[in-house]
Amino acid sequence: MSLPAFLGRRLLQLIPTLIFILIVVFVLVRLLPGDPASAILGDRALDADVERINRELGLDRPLPVQFWAFVQSVFTGNLGNSISMKIPVTQLIWERLPITMLLTFMAALIAVVVAVPLAFVAALRRDRIADSAIRGAFQVGLSMPVFYVGLILLTVFGAKLRWFPVGGYGDGFVDQLYHLFLPAVTLALSLSAILMRNLRSAIIGVVDAEYVTFARAKGLRPRLILFRHILRNALISTLTLFGLSIGTLLGGAVITESVFAVPGAGRLMIDSIYGRDYPVVQGLTIALAVLVSLTFLLTDILQAWLDPRVTR
């Protein structure tokens, strides 16, 4: 199979995925306990008012009709209006989602920058002091809950040392990066531990591979052997893990944003769930799901580039 054919097939696979996402989102939101009318009107609402609200929101119609309307609106780019904030959901997503994407991207970047070199050191010094120290440190990192790490970082680097702001989101790109740094580190911690462990064992598996011995037998320079022969092969499995972790990372962003008071999509999601703001929850979930699907697509493309056995 050629690369274009592979890409074409991979893109086609996105379609059933997206349909499935729409169904799940639609059903899940309606399975939430409580209903939007009472959330809007409060506990002592009159039945007549509840009925009126339900009619306005189209919630009195049969479920298949609601679903069809939902699908139509999604494909026309209209995700409805927020019930509590009275503004279009798309506008909310445009405002909040980029913040979460930036946070996730920073966290992924930090995780990779930390994990890759340390994995190398640990793998090439297997079972020596450096290896044990690195693995021990990451083990601690991996076993601490995200919110707890976030609180520690906040207390030490925010409140005590005052190196970083304790929360919120700055003005201008650089200030935003500055505000997002601690949350990103918090988020990156467990991912970097997972990546480090995976890459370390992948490298150990590759170092003793016959083709690495052959590369040495050819008299190649160690650096060439390391990057061309060892790293590239070791990265194949780690890349898959990395792609799959992006979804988890977005989930972690929800908690991290709450701890650091970052006004991102995670915070918006939690607020909307509490407020039974169906349209926002639906819209955000779809946006996040599409984002994750695209990440998987990107991972597969990178994978095909790294490993020719995928496509040829």
Partner 1 sequence: MSEPILRVRGLTTTFGDGALHAVRDVSFDVMPGEVLGLVGESGSGKSVTLRSLLRLLPAGGRVAGSVCWHGRDVLAMNEAELRGVRGGEISMIFQEPMTALNPVLPIRVQIEENLRAHTKLDGRGRRARARELMDLVGIPDAARRLDEFPHQFSGGMRQRAMIAIALASDPKLLLADEPTTALDVTIQDQILKLILELRDELAMSVVFVTHDLGVVSATCDRMAVMYAGRIVEEGAVADVFACPRHAYTHGLLGSVPQAGAERSMLLSIEGTPPGLARIPEGCAFNPRCDFATDICRRTRPRLAEMSPGHHAACHNAGAVAAAGSPVRRAMRDG
**Please, what is the minimum distance in Å from the beta carbon of residue 244 to partner 1?**
21
Site for partner 1 (CB under 8 A): which residue of 43, 47, 171, 210?
Answer: 210
Vertex 262: Cα angle to 257 and 265 (nearest 5): 70
Contact range with partner 1 by CB under 8 A, out of 19-27, 29-37, 43-51, 224-232: 224-232
Cβ atoms of 99 and 264 within 8 Å: the answer is yes
- Nearer Cβ to partner 1 (142/212): 212
221 binds partner 1 (CB under 8 A): yes
- Nearer Cβ to partner 1 (189/199): 199
Site for partner 1 (CB under 8 A): which residue of 215, 284, 288, 304?
Answer: 215
306 binds partner 1 (CB under 8 A): yes
- Nearer Cβ to partner 1 (93/215): 215
216 binds partner 1 (CB under 8 A): yes
Exposure string (b/e) for 23-45, b if CB count within 10 Å is 16 or more? eebbeebeeeeebbbebbeeeee
- Nearer Cβ to partner 1 (116/215): 215
- Nearer Cβ to partner 1 (31/217): 217
The contact pattern for partner 1, residues 258-277, with x = CB under 8 A and - = no contact, is: --------------------
Tell me the residue length of the chain: 312
Site for partner 1 (CB under 8 A): which residue of 228, 274, 294, 298?
Answer: 228
Site for partner 1 (CB under 8 A): which residue of 55, 218, 227, 298?
Answer: 218
- Nearer Cβ to partner 1 (233/285): 233
Residue (of 169, 172, 171, 193) closest to 181 by Cα position: 169
Helical pair 173-207 and 146-153, crossing angle rounded to 10 deg = 130
Which residues make beta-bridge pairs with 88? Answer: 81
- Nearer Cβ to partner 1 (9/218): 218
Q: For the CA atoms of the chain, what is the radius of gyration?
A: 24
Size of residue set near partner 1 by CB under 8 A = 26
Instruction: Specify the residue for token string 């994978």.
Output: 303
Phi, psi of 81, rounded to the nearest 5 degrees:
-105, 150
**Please, what is the minimum distance in Å from the beta carbon of residue 10 to partner 1?**
19
Distance CA 235, CA 145 (A): 27
- Nearer Cβ to partner 1 (257/300): 300
Residue (of 32, 37, 29) closest to 84 by Cα position: 37
213 binds partner 1 (CB under 8 A): yes
The contact pattern for partner 1, residues 38-77, with x = CB under 8 A and - = no contact, is: ----------------------------------------
Residue type, 109: L
Residue (of 134, 41, 91, 43) closest to 279 by Cα position: 91
Can you read off the two tokens belonging to residue 146? 């995200």
224 binds partner 1 (CB under 8 A): yes
307 binds partner 1 (CB under 8 A): yes
308 binds partner 1 (CB under 8 A): yes
Positions touching partner 1 (CB under 8 A) are 126, 208-211, 213-222, 224, 228-229, 232-233, 236, 306-309, 312
